[in-house]
Amino acid sequence: MEPFSPRLALLAVLGWFFYKYLRTTKPTRLPLPPGPKGYPIIGSLFDFPTTKPWLVYDKWFKTYGDIVYLKVLGRSFLLLGTLERVNDIFERRSKNYSDRPRMPMLLENIGLGFLFVLLPYGSSWRRQRRAFHNFFHPNVVDTYYPIQVNAARRFLRNILVSSPERHVELMHTALAETIMEVSYGIKIKGLDDPYVKDAESVLEGLADGGTPGRYLVDVFPFMKHIPAWFPGAGWKRKANAWQDVNRYVARKPFELVKEQMKVGTAAPSIAASLIQKLHDQNSPDLDRATEEEVAMNTCAIAYIGGSDTTIAAIQTFFLAMCLYPEAQKKGQAELDRVLKGRLPEFDDRPSLPYIIAMVKETMRWLTVTPFGQVHMATDDDEYEGYHIPKGTIVIGDAWRILHDPEIYKNPDHFVPDRFIKDGKFNEEIRDPSVAAFGFGRRICPGRYFSDNSLFIMIASVLAVYDVKPQIDDNGREVEIKVDVTGELLSHPLPFSFRIIPRSKAAVYLVNSSELLE
């Protein structure tokens, strides 16, 4: 066998460029939508953003209109900048736009095939989503209220004895506790718990590898065969490190619950329910293996993705409270009026319109998934007189939809009052959930659980604490600037803040509060 030749490798890559270019430039009588023209073969490679892409998309929408088309290395991209366009494509034409593009970096290199949200549209995806939906639809999420309330109350107690530097860690722990107990009935031991560490590693890979255009292997799948030692293959070494964790991250807690059920020590959980169902079925071995994989993956998607978006949202809430103290005071005044010296529960929600408004504005202001998960056109399509080629990656720009100044005045500001009218929650204004959780058949099935976690955490914190910027050595509040990470899951960048008791009565209330059964 001849030794590896860089010259032959370069010719192979150029040949692939040319092949993709010819394949995706099939003539049609209809024009393509407007957008950056780019160059032959490479397209708009040099214009395509790989960090905070939603800001570049916004500039393109202002230049070309609310539907933008471009090519990068032969791959077609379609950007949708209004809710009307998103509904046209992802709702009314969902049959053609519910697929996912092939994701070599995420599925084949990092090894995230157990996350059904990444799977192509088809029977396997439908089966796993259906299984997940059975445990997180609106009529069942109220069974998790006690777990969510208890996690919020443990967080309130831990704040009393912690330093400000640990506030984010404690919040992260509280949400991880919630989802691990719901998914597996497992009690974790802080952020150093191996289950939490595994989940963080998976999410790191998902956020990094899921950003469109970041890795060439998603354009040239043959690159997945490049060895990690090859010069310039740092991406492969990163992928291998994540893959080492992903090989067992879904199976490890699931197998633990199986062992607990054998000896009768398993706590109630989604995993326990699914395993019991498997035991009650008399299925052939092949079907049983498939059903067990579905069950394991159902728990994994809750375990991996159930807390991260909520963590980012609560960090956004803390940031907003530091920068908008008047909104904080309004929320606290409503809580004081309704609660009268007790901690909040979910039954209080109808009486707390301003807290609900704060939840909605938190979702809207710094959108956690600013461009959501990408979709793909299954077949050629015609839309508004334009040709949409088969295989086009379609992105609904959630950030732009939730920052439309015609819908939300002063969209860059945190203003819960925009959702309030005559002292009540204003149902007429656009609910951020139309974009914050994705679109169409691919909308996040865990959105109701996430919304509940955000509500009870915000209400609980404001009932007994003030959130303020940290104090510097001169006794002045530290200046806080608004900035976020630029990946698939967008978090506020670290900032210094305090969570301090509102009064001695608040401290007593926190210490004397009881956990729900």
Report pLDDT digits (tens) over 148-206. Answer: 999 999 999 999 988 888 888 888 888 888 888 999 998 887 667 787 777 777 777 77
With a cut of 90, say whether residue 108 has pLDDT above it: no
Annotation: binding site for heme: 444
Whether residue 6 is contained in a domain is answered as no
Is residue 458 within 8 Å of 334, Cβ to Cβ? Answer: no
Is residue 402 within 8 Å of 411, Cβ to Cβ? Answer: yes
CA separation, residue 450 to residues 62, 88, 514 (Å): 33, 26, 23
With a cut of 60, say whether residue 481 has pLDDT above it: yes
Q: Are strands 393-396 and 75-80 parallel, antiparallel or unpaired?
A: parallel
Whether residue 131 is contained in a domain is answered as yes
From its phi and psi, is residue 92 left (phi > 0), alpha (psi between -120 and 50) or beta?
alpha
Whether residue 391 is contained in a domain is answered as yes
CATH of the domain at 473: 1.10.630.10
CA angle 450, 453, 459 (to 5 degrees): 140
How many domains would you assign to the chain? 1
Whether residue 9 is contained in a domain is answered as no
Whether residue 422 is contained in a domain is answered as yes
Annotation: binding site: 444
Q: Identify the domain containing residue 489 by its residue range.
A: 28-512
Whether residue 504 is contained in a domain is answered as yes
With a cut of 90, say whether residue 449 has pLDDT above it: yes
Whether residue 48 is contained in a domain is answered as yes
Query: Model pTM greater than 0.85?
Result: yes
Distance of CA 516 to the CA centre of its chain: 29
Whether residue 223 is contained in a domain is answered as yes
Q: Which residues contact 13 (CB under 8 A, 6 or more apart)?
A: 220
pLDDT in tens, 330-384: 999 999 999 999 999 999 999 999 999 999 999 999 999 998 789 999 999 999 9
With a cut of 60, say whether residue 326 has pLDDT above it: yes
**H or E element in which residue 421 lies:** strand 420-421
